[in-house]
Structure 1
Amino acid sequence: MGGSDSTQVGEAAVYCRVAHRRSPRQAGVDQREARCRELADRHGLHVAPWRVFIDPLATSWARTDERDGRRPGWDALLRDLRTGPVTHVLIAGTDELEQFHPWDLAALLTLADARDLVLLDPEQEVDLNTPAARSALRERTRERCRRREDASGTTRTAQSRAAADGRPHGGGRRAFGYTQSGHELVPDEAAVVARIYHWYLTDRSLSWIARELTTERIPTAAGGRWTSTKVARILDAPRYAALQVRQGEVLRDASGAYVPGSWEPCVSLSQWEAAQELRRSAELTTRAERRPERHYRLTGLVRCGRCGRRMVGETKNGYPMYGCIGRSTGEGEPCHRYISATRLEELVDEHVLFALENAQLPSEGTPAAVLDPKTAEGRDHDQARLAELPAPTATPEPQSTREHAALAARIRKENRMVAVRVPDAVGPELTGRHTRRNWHRLSASRRDDVRRFLIAHIDIGPVTGPRSVFDPARVLILRHPD
């Protein structure tokens, strides 16, 4: 780190969350981590590798609790602040937390007050630690939490009243077969729902039903294409038999009978119950026939050298493979690229072991979130252009609005390519002449951490020889920049 021991004033923790989809900056977690580390250097703070906490997924913005596991970085940060010797918290985007997730900021402020923590935000020009600024931030956060709770409380009350009156309730998108209010049938769609149940009860598969509806060019409620999942949702939903649901459970009276709603059903109760029985039977059969899951240790690292999309682990003709998930290439042709999972994993592990045997230990300032230089360069260009455009709500010009939306979507896609790794994954026991012996003693999760620490991604090229022969020349292993 930039600060020497003589200038250090405390232990710091770094927290970075991916930008909210409505954020004007759309900063990546790697960019935020770099800014936090620069700020730590300026203040002479020590940031231990295990005190860098990152949540790179958009699901971290969903309102949730610690048990949900959607924001492990945030939960780990709070645990460390409660028990660790941290004196400073470097967190990028406190204004986003205040606007989109005030509950989290309220929890952080409570901890900061209780443990006398200094809050630093590289994206804020205001000092968050003066009594006036801290008090104003606390009051704004409290008010936002109160307004959110009032709004959600009003919604819950309205839904509870609707449920008590036997009326449709829930909210969100319109249910297929019903109007937006949920009270009245859409006749053509209701007829499709009845056909779905008839098909399923006469031994048609979910995928067959989805293909048939797509062939007939019947749109979903949102205007999209049918999938097996969408068909299953219709078969599972009690609303189509006009049954009331409360807190995720079909409502029953004291005698155990279903409580009917006040809206018209699309199918009979007996049809719905028969469909549920078939669904349960199919799930039990699938579980019994399911093979033990194989751990594809390179998931997220392997990319198709043709279309650039990730390749995922799957079984093909009885063999574990990594296959391209790209629907098409730039020329519009299907992209079907596969490679043996077993042989590829053996090749990559040999590369990792060679690198460990000949490498020095990483410094404490090694970043936890990294993006390959080519993608980072493109993202920088996109972010610069995004900053030049007016916000969509501030301009009536559709062309500018479309460009803004396209740029923001592309930046979010680029941010998802950031690799998050454990900065202290490689310890002294994994370097030198005892590397191979110690490698096989590690847990599978620790070996995964090491692979992701060293490797940015693995590009798979085309087959140039016999398909039955594994060709190492197809594999390009790209390391993270030092």
Structure 2
Amino acid sequence: MSQTPKRAAVYCRLSYAPDGSVEKVERQEADCRELAARLGWEISESHVFVDNSRSAWQRKRKRPGWDSLLKAVEADDIDGIVVYHGDRMIRQPFDLERMISLAEGKGLRISSPSGTRDLDSADDRFILRIEAAQACRASDDTSRRVSRGVKGRVEKGLPPTAGGKRPYGWGVQIGSKVKVDPETGKEKRVPVFDMTLPVAEEIRFTQRAIERQLAGMNHGAVVRWLNESGSRTTEGNPWTTKSWRNVVLRPRVAGLIEHGGKLHKAAWDGAVSVEVWAAIKALYAASAAESPYCGRERVHLLTGVAECFQCHPAPRGGKCGSPKCKGPHQAVRSKPSGGRNRKTSRIYYCPSCRGVGRNMALLDAYIDGRVLRLLSSEDFLRELRKAMAPEGGDASSLLTEITALEKRREQEKARLESLADHPDVDGSLVVLAIASFDRKIVALRARLAVPAKLNRLTKLVGIGREDWLARPIDVRSAVVKDLFRVVILPTELRGPGFDTSSVRLERRPL
């Protein structure tokens, strides 16, 4: 007969604790200690293992407590395990086989309220294998029911899971319910929201902010505008670049839900069209590719835009003496000019060699003038029109075709509504016809689509100096980068004035 364990371990596990509550695993530990006391087992205080909010059924899950328990078994540090219930420890047969393999010949005993098992006993191993198979089958049944429920919600155009925080733009309160505070145990009344109903003011903020971004406004500037306009997150916090990015990149904003890697039509109308949502996603993707780190909100026109004539940035580093070098060069930064009589002036400088520096106000004014002159040029206007010409046809014919398709689509919709209750008409045929119109319209709009750069430049053609300076600094900086590569060269000019030959502007292709 096996000896009474003198170094028993305790294992506790709770599958789901979204609020991080440890109350239930603590209750399991107390029950395990009470059982060990009745059996006369001695608990090893250094071998109490807890997995809170951890699944034992998912094959790819991580259970730190379980892994530590197996190490203790392999090292022969324990001679018994007390568990609240067998399925708290094992819900997959392969976990049991792993335990049996590590405990072979060690006389390890497992105890729970349902009984005590000796892993060296063939009969007990047989019973444990049956219990593990039953636990796995129960988990499979639960998973199947949950998956079917999720599929049913998606088919209705609802999110895969209910509850959670109210999404920005949607969620009208339709009642309240009583909820128990996990920390205090007290009941409190919380609002209940219908997540398919739009919040008009938040929808307007979303639409206006996305319009600004597509027009060329910097991500950080849009966030600042939202905060200054009085918009707040659903939790009442000021917007950050991360929280706003999360809102506009979610399929919900376009009236879609994502499940299983596919997009489905949602039960609510989007704040923007699918095409606009695709454009804003493409804008973020392009920004991430061009600038892996977006940096702080822009303050000056040419920081990060103008380049030193000779220094290369890390990791390449070093200097080049060739004026024809097309490789990436060190971008300039800004700092105060310094000096008793220049307390408010600033300069652009190269942080690598510190050998070039230009007065910020004078260089900005020169660049502004060159940009305005180009935007007012007839040659540039012709170049822009050529760059924007759609593939496979001119813009006017494509727009005419889109307009005609949209008109026919509306006629089909009206026809569907009038025949909805007619017993001899198959409404699904009309629905399919409308879907075919949508596909054709999306394809034509894609041929009309232009890069964000061209869209930004088109709105600024012929702009005057006063209107130009009234534009946000990040928009002006983006336009400078769209049009020119700005290279700062050495200068021998000393004293007041600006040496235009000390700046090289290279036109970028549209």
TM-score normalised according to structure 1 size: 0.38
If asked which structure has higher relative contact order (CA below 8 Å, sep 6+), I would say 1
TM-score normalised according to structure 2 size: 0.37
Q: Which has the larger radius of gyration?
A: 2
